[in-house]
Structure 1
């Protein structure tokens, strides 16, 4: 009888695992002998944000285009969201036996790139961090400790309760600070509206809790940091230099006349920087 109950429990557990949503969805392109490049989008962005970038990669590159649970139709997962995504990315790299990897991460994707490089130093050769900083909270909420940021906060409940029209207005205000092209602003708004609302709210709380600056000395990968020059070049450069002060092997370059989505605002400049770095 005990054996029967044990077998039934195993079957039920296997069924639960099969039904659980995955935290990441990855599209692999190319089977070249050149560099393997893992592309990590930012918050609310689908993996397709990198499609044009991938088209401009050097030949023989194998790309891995990542999308996250809860964004643009990908089934959401439970909290903690960011930690689960990181764990699945680490397992994927290990299971696929990826080596000499370059990771390109925009915004939150840059945070994940730093964490992966610190955890798997022998597998990651290069990082390209696109307008990503190790601790957003230090800029947006200076002096506020991570312990004060909780899922069940009045602000989070307010965002969860917004009507679709009110949320659309909020998303548009944010998007207008992230891209200069009105058509791209519309795209960013559409991505925000397509996001699972709980993922949008609680996932952003995860990001504000992050402070990756203590991890930076563990990152051995050569790193190219690409920053958006707007609204003030001097302030932006000083912020990057301060936040990445303990990262050993790095180069910081600012895209001219660009907001947060550099690949949208300055595509030619971005493709050139990325291709040159990959082929060095």
Structure 2
């Protein structure tokens, strides 16, 4: 009986510690209008340092990192939904208004979700190579109900040894940028991720279909799309998926893959600043 009680206490302590791990970690700098920087999957908030340094005007920069990535403690599933809720709480607790959100990939998904939930607080969105329903591109016609954590693919990913996972991660990294000296950066971010967060977190993203909330967004929006596999195909996908989003501008960035800010940094900064100056 005594051992049983000790086990229960230890179990409670472990669970308490796990539940207290934050879903988001913020790095705040500067003074001025608030800018919420949301990175993509596996990426740290520091990916936005160069972008912040090249923004014109005065800004209070909130660079967000996520649980399970960049050495941050993991959280329980559902991962994406918990991050979204914590971001909304973050905005409300700090009483942020007239917010600019710059989001890449999954960060763009979060930006859309937040702008739909808090339309009176979000002034403008910059979505960088972010699609509202990635499942429709990768698995056309597959319903959300068929996307499960305990899938054969997920079990295979979790069972990979370090060398196998590194090979898979390297192929992914090479397909996401044209800038060769950034491939190792992307690879290291993937390898640093908590494996379960990587596998199950991506499952959360595959379940998303944010097309149904686009009409709730009032923020002026700039969508920057990568020219991959071709600029024409990519643009057609953006126009189709963002059809219900009002007050938007879609601009395609030539000679770029998923990480536009790595492949075309000068053009990226120019597009961002022009949009913000003219909003």
CA distance in 1, matches of 2:196, 2:146: 19
1:208 to 188, 206, 209: 206
Stretches of structure 2 lacking an aligned partner (at least 5 in a row): 1-11
- Residue aligning to 2:73: 75
CA distance in 2, matches of 1:279, 1:69: 33
Deviations 1:120-175 (A, max 9, x none): 00000100000000000000000111111111111101000101111011011111
Q: TM (normalized to structure 1)? A: 0.92
State the 1:18 CA deviation.
9.0
CA distance in 1, matches of 2:206, 2:55: 32
Q: TM (normalized to structure 2)? A: 0.93
Which SS does the other structure have where 1:98 is aligned? coil
What stretches of structure 1 move > 6 A for 4+ residues in a row? none
- Residue aligning to 1:276: 274
Which SS does the other structure have where 1:44 is aligned? coil
Q: Does 1:164 align with 2:162?
A: yes
Deviations 1:195-215 (A, max 9, x none): 000000000000000000010
- Residue aligning to 1:219: 217
- Residue aligning to 1:245: 243
Deviations 1:218-242 (A, max 9, x none): 0110000000012211111100000
- Residue aligning to 2:4: none
CA-atom RMSD in angstroms: 1.4
Deviations 1:77-134 (A, max 9, x none): 0100000000000000000000000100000000000000000000001000000000
2:137 to 121, 125, 139: 139
Which SS does the other structure have where 2:55 is aligned? coil
CA distance in 1, matches of 2:138, 2:235: 17
CA distance in 2, matches of 1:174, 1:265: 16
Query: What is the count of residue pairs matched by the alignment?
Result: 266
State the 1:29 CA deviation.
0.7
CA distance in 1, matches of 2:59, 2:39: 18
- Aligned residues of 2:40 and 2:103 also touching (Cα < 8 A): yes
The 1:19–1:229 alpha-carbon spacing in structure 2 relative to 1, beyond 3 Å, is: closer
Deviations 1:38-73 (A, max 9, x none): 000000111111111111011311110000000010
State the 1:19 CA deviation.
6.2
CA distance in 2, matches of 1:275, 1:235: 26
Which SS does the other structure have where 2:222 is aligned? strand
Query: How is 1:1-280 mapped onto 2 (pairs within 5 angstroms)?
Result: 16=16, 20-32=20-32, 35-280=33-278
State the 1:17 CA deviation.
7.0
